[in-house]
Amino acid sequence: MSEPALAPRSPFGGVVIVWGAALLAAIAIGIFVPAEWRVQWLIVGFGGAVLLSFALQLWYGQTKGFILRTAASVTGALLLLGVVSAGFALAALVPA
């Protein structure tokens, strides 16, 4: 008797995890980092999102769609960090 094949994990889970990690990193950078260092730390946060994306997609273990899933993770993280960066820039224009 053979065992039934298990259902594969959802490939979008890794994409959403990377987006969530990028959002949490952006929030932490906005809270804990001084304004003059935020851009540099957002770049570091994006690098971490890229590494996390590769790690999660390699852990998923499915070769089909690897580039698409990784690109979706990285592009979403880049857009999210860009929007947060624009928010930081607009907040810097408002007098305190």
Please state the domain extents for the chain.
Answer: 12-93
The 10s digit of each residue's pLDDT in 33-70 is: 999 999 999 999 999 999 999 999 999 888 888 999 99
Identify the CA nearest to 70 among candidates 7, 21, 10, 11.
Answer: 11
DSSP designation for 94: S
**Which residue did the predictor score with more confidence, 54 or 6?**
54
